[in-house]
Structure 1
């Protein structure tokens, strides 16, 4: 009886040891493919290369946090989520940053997202993006962030008509339309009210539309 028990213990230990070896050390359950999901402009191969996971590396021992950190070094990405998909796939789901404005400096156009992060540098600003005019453009500048928040909250019908956005302060945001008209927006408060009022005001002829105080609007 003791011999049989000892044999079963050894057999169990052998099975467990073999299973552990297969999962944690052998290429049997290694990474055979890296699946990239969510990318539209960033090439799949670039993300795979940045992930830096060797083929057949045991899937169970891939450091997901490290892979995520490496992938997030691609500045065009806003987020990345890394998961294991058994038996041999590493799945990386990304969300790309979306440019909402362009900052002109040194003869180049820096495309920035809603958080003030520079996504890429171009020779010419895309016509679809408004040019952002602030004294100290950057994610830590209150005027920049106010202007970007205003841009992000504009209704679709108005977004495509904005040529430039200027912010002298967080409360001093103004919009320049493609037809030359100016909108004094003010601060980031009551954005929905300002947009609603402006929709009707723009049918009236004027050069300047001041909706900084939605309760008392003026046209010039």
Structure 2
């Protein structure tokens, strides 16, 4: 009778009174058969980790060498400053506020520090973006405040729709804005928000009017406000006063535009002393 080696071993063990298992079973249970594959996996993992450490270390060293080379290389010094978005301020004012050291290494130019200097030194600027353009250029992009009116009080001052006071205006800024004439600014400095209820109402109204009806906005020469009359407009054509009151100002502006076009087309505007739109159903 033919027997396999395993069966023969078992029979021999039984004859001797011993419990014998085949050798291949012992190797399997002890894990010796699986050892070569697990050993290779562990070795591969160690090699992979070693490669990662080598690559990371090499990258850090390269970065450090490049940084030192850039700082020592004059080709990476600041040689040009590009300014965009400047209309209320001059390039000279921007450069003075930025305090950028020309010919210094471009890596030493801290863009956030420059940005804070510009916002602190230029009240006309609402926001600014500063960036480095390698090898040797700093770019400054200004977002200026948008004047909505001019205030006459011991000089010509700008004000935006948020009520923030802007520095003195001159002819180079363009003076094609409505003029506010009854606001006092003694205690305010450029860059501050004017804490005046009347001015806040006026600039908000003018901002909305310029957005909704820029044609009528451009026809307004002067604006005032007081407790009794409310808002009073002076039209650019013929200096005709328009009494607006305190409420429904934008709705009244639609009526004003229709009436004013009629008066101009009929050539009667010059004979009008004033228009009173303070009351309903006029």
Q: Which category of TM-score, normalised to the shorter sequence, fits these structures?
A: 0.7 to 0.9
SS at match of 2:123: coil
Give the whole-Å Cα distance in 2 for the aligned partners of 1:113 and 1:19: 47
* Residue 118 of structure 1: aligned partner: 166
* Residue 146 of structure 1: aligned partner: 201
Q: Does 1:177 align with 2:235?
A: yes
* Structure 1 position 190, deviation (Å): 6.0
CA offsets 1:13-46 (integer angstroms, 9 cap, x no match)? 6534312313566544332311111113532233
Gap change, CA 1:22 and 1:172, over 3 Å in 2: farther
SS at match of 1:100: strand
Gap change, CA 1:199 and 1:26, over 3 Å in 2: same
Q: Which runs of 5+ in 2 are unaligned?
A: 1-50, 189-193
* Residue 79 of structure 1: aligned partner: 127
CA offsets 1:164-220 (integer angstroms, 9 cap, x no match)? 101125x922212132322233447562x333222112225652131x57xx342xx
**After superposition, where does 1:80-119 map in structure 2 within 5 Å?**
80-106=128-154, 108-114=155-161, 115-119=163-167
Contact 2:157–2:165 (CA under 8 A) maintained in structure 1: no
Question: Which is richer in helix?
Answer: 2
2:67 maps to which of 20, 33, 50: 20
Gap change, CA 1:16 and 1:75, over 3 Å in 2: closer
**CA radius of gyration, larger in:** 2
Contact 1:175–1:184 (CA under 8 A) maintained in structure 2: yes
CA offsets 1:108-127 (integer angstroms, 9 cap, x no match)? 3333333341321559xx76
* Residue 132 of structure 1: aligned partner: 180
- The number of residues matched between the two structures is 203
CA offsets 1:121-175 (integer angstroms, 9 cap, x no match)? 559xx76333213354562112102111222233232223222101125x92221
Q: Is the deviation greater in 65-74 or in 97-106? A: 97-106
Question: Which is richer in strand?
Answer: 1
Q: Which runs of 5+ in 1 are unaligned?
A: none
* Structure 1 position 66, deviation (Å): 1.6
2:218 maps to which of 160, 169, 173: 160
Give the whole-Å Cα distance in 2 for the aligned partners of 1:23 and 1:187: 63
Contact 2:153–2:184 (CA under 8 A) maintained in structure 1: no
Contact 1:64–1:82 (CA under 8 A) maintained in structure 2: yes
Q: Does 1:209 align with 2:276?
A: yes
Q: Does 1:37 align with 2:91?
A: no
Give the whole-Å Cα distance in 2 for the aligned partners of 1:103 and 1:49: 27
